[in-house]
Structure 1
């Protein structure tokens, strides 16, 4: 290899580690899946996630050398294959859809491994700035959605929030980014960002966004800040029409709200899957193909101009995992919930005591804790940006633990006082 080639390779590698690229790479991975669905006017995020994974490999394979854990990948695929072929004996399944999903998993596993290795090679300063730029980018997305400045073709979506097809998908990304910022030591900055989060939820008029912001408040705010936020929310509630929000909290059999009906449909899918398969599940990626019926499905069909909603993703990740993987899905959801709660406790300790956390580790912990929104509130299935980033976070946290990364870096301008 010539000296010029070596020099060019190192220049390219240095470019990958700079703040502008770090911000763009984070934004690409978090937004590409939904953006492709938005522009293609499709419901699945899988094509966009596949495109993002290919871009990751094209960017990183030439300069990074990683150790791929084929044992983990092989073991996981073997479990899915065994589970699926047992499910075939007790439920109607689609082998083609299952096989295609396995190929996507292999691609995403490799891309997530490379992405995690890139992330942990960033300096703390670059990661800290990139996350802040990402937060302001999402604020700009909110402003453009409020003034209805959206790409052509966005009119088919009820509340387009480009690059997201709806505010709920925006919430799944916004929550962990907001959490990463608000869990930093420094009461003043936290208070400002919590205010930005509440204002974002109010402007987008979306319950999932507000639930995400309140999750961040519970995790990061000391009692006095929590009380102030609560007073502000209550005061605002007395001045606005709450019909929109209350209708989404109506889970009675008479509800006519589509969001509530989708949630009820997901719960019915869990119950029917367990009853029909004796707790085994209908098989990986089979929701929407295996005939499961819910009274809510028929109401959705009549209210939504003869179209079904969320038959394949269940409305939230827990509904999909439990319906498809049965008791194994319940174990998986339990493990993810425990991991999310542990991550939330670590972030809260840092926010309240001022203990520093490396920005790379903080962002990964925020992704893990923020995934509670996908699990229990609103998710788009396994092949989503946030699920992909959960895998990246797991790989990155494991690598940083093995490398003994010490949490000594402190963001400039943040306070260490436990009173903050």
Structure 2
């Protein structure tokens, strides 16, 4: 039997990039995904060079993508040079070695993302779908195992999540797959069963990110958007206001975004935005790539967290990705975030219009892009995460297929 090397390699890419970084965090007590993501990217690049027999060619549709990569590289370099040689008053000097190492890392990850995009382009749609189903089965198994709350790897964490360091990391990986399989099972009861399974998991574990991932997948893929939105709001109001219990107090505290909140998750999210805009007031250009937490200013919320824990937490990842971008790139960061939101709205409208007829690849990349909203505004862990890696792949897809409106084709039934 002939084995499709692209489908086989795609399964390897998905498995390595989704599970290896988190496992390395757990086993080696790392505080971020960075080393795991870079190691996974190197494995992907090396494996592609060894496995792929396709002759490297430069297709016309990849010109814009390669130009975008070159422009991004030059932007990161020039921006850092400017903020280094023309520092704003009151801003801590940037960490040059950290920038150099991070720049090399992001280039490695970009090459791996480019390869991933090529592999998906060259893989048949039903083979992509099969690879995603395998990953989904593993994630369901992970969810069921983690319900036991057994710390299999002696991580010492409050909420051990088996192959993932914490529930939020697990939720960010699940989010695009929940949305994708909601699209591909739009008329099947499996859609609601899948969302219910992960929704109940999020409720039992008490993870707000997973609850939002399920709600986002449901709302974006539902047939009637507005009625579904109002039904969720009407169901949530009495639970939020009238039901008093320890179980629901977690969600009330999590939704408290006031500066006097005692909930650490809410404070971390607010801390990211406060430190970002404090820095923006001092430096309109920001502090440079990967300098958040090193050169950015600390506000009252950071000091409140320190008074509670006697340590500063989440000072390098900003709690979510959008404030990190703004803090590091200033007004350019605001433009980048607005561009992201504009792209999100365009893809949202397009995928809603074609959710019954879009190709599986289009639905996959749309799901990855739309679900990244959680990482940008709810719970982020920096640029080097599994979900951000696949977000970069999705951006590459839409850049290289800039006429993707015309490429949305009739979905093949398998």
Partner residue in 1 for 2:288: 283
Are 1:183 and 1:350, in contact at CA under 8 Å, matched by a contact in 2?
Answer: no
Are 1:119 and 1:396, in contact at CA under 8 Å, matched by a contact in 2?
Answer: no
Are 1:183 and 1:220, in contact at CA under 8 Å, matched by a contact in 2?
Answer: yes
Change (3 A) 1:232 1:116: same
SS of the equivalent of 1:34 reads helix
Residue ranges of structure 1 left out of the alignment (5+ in a row): 1-9, 413-420
C-alpha separation between the residues in 1 aligned to 2:68 and 2:77?
A: 14
Are 2:10 and 2:116, in contact at CA under 8 Å, matched by a contact in 1?
Answer: no
Matched, 1:256 2:262: yes
Partner residue in 1 for 2:297: 292
Change (3 A) 1:401 1:297: closer
Are 2:10 and 2:119, in contact at CA under 8 Å, matched by a contact in 1?
Answer: no
C-alpha separation between the residues in 1 aligned to 2:132 and 2:350?
A: 19
Partner residue in 2 for 1:84: 80
Partner deviation per Cα, 1:62-118 (whole Å, 9 max, x = no partner) = 314354865433321221122112222223111111111111122111111111111
C-alpha separation between the residues in 1 aligned to 2:230 and 2:408?
A: 34
1:217 shift after superposition? 1.7
1:46 shift after superposition? 0.8
2:271 to 250, 257, 265: 265
1:251 shift after superposition? 2.2
Change (3 A) 1:379 1:160: same
C-alpha separation between the residues in 2 aligned to 1:45 and 1:105?
A: 13
- Cα RMSD after superposing both structures: 2.6
C-alpha separation between the residues in 1 aligned to 2:114 and 2:390?
A: 11
Alignment of 1:21-60 (within 5 A): 22-60=10-48
1:292 shift after superposition? 1.1
C-alpha separation between the residues in 1 aligned to 2:349 and 2:193?
A: 22
Matched, 1:72 2:68: yes
C-alpha separation between the residues in 1 aligned to 2:320 and 2:140?
A: 25
Change (3 A) 1:110 1:230: same
1:239 shift after superposition? 8.7
Partner residue in 1 for 2:352: 348
Q: Which moved more, 1:73-82 or 1:118-127?
A: 73-82
Are 1:285 and 1:324, in contact at CA under 8 Å, matched by a contact in 2?
Answer: yes
Are 2:289 and 2:328, in contact at CA under 8 Å, matched by a contact in 1?
Answer: yes
Partner residue in 2 for 1:3: none
Partner residue in 1 for 2:362: 361
SS of the equivalent of 2:354 reads helix
Partner deviation per Cα, 1:372-395 (whole Å, 9 max, x = no partner) = 001110111111111111111122
SS of the equivalent of 1:116 reads helix
Partner residue in 2 for 1:98: 99
Q: Give the TM-score, by structure 1 length.
A: 0.86
Alignment of 1:19-418 (within 5 A): 22-62=10-50, 63=52, 64=54, 65=56, 67=58, 71-88=67-84, 89-90=86-87, 91=91, 92-155=93-156, 157-184=157-184, 185-223=186-224, 238=243, 241-277=247-283, 279-304=284-309, 306-351=310-355, 354=356, 356-399=357-400, 407-412=409-414
Are 1:183 and 1:347, in contact at CA under 8 Å, matched by a contact in 2?
Answer: no
Are 1:283 and 1:324, in contact at CA under 8 Å, matched by a contact in 2?
Answer: yes
C-alpha separation between the residues in 1 aligned to 2:239 and 2:122?
A: 44
Change (3 A) 1:397 1:267: closer
1:399 shift after superposition? 4.5
C-alpha separation between the residues in 1 aligned to 2:238 and 2:124?
A: 42
C-alpha separation between the residues in 1 aligned to 2:232 and 2:256?
A: 24
1:197 shift after superposition? 3.0
Are 1:287 and 1:313, in contact at CA under 8 Å, matched by a contact in 2?
Answer: yes
Partner deviation per Cα, 1:111-137 (whole Å, 9 max, x = no partner) = 111111111222111112222232222
1:187 shift after superposition? 4.5
C-alpha separation between the residues in 2 aligned to 1:226 and 1:128?
A: 29
SS of the equivalent of 1:287 reads coil
1:325 shift after superposition? 0.3
Change (3 A) 1:231 1:222: farther
C-alpha separation between the residues in 1 aligned to 2:229 and 2:255?
A: 23
Are 1:61 and 1:114, in contact at CA under 8 Å, matched by a contact in 2?
Answer: no
Q: Which moved more, 1:75-84 or 1:194-203?
A: 194-203
C-alpha separation between the residues in 2 aligned to 1:396 and 1:28?
A: 20
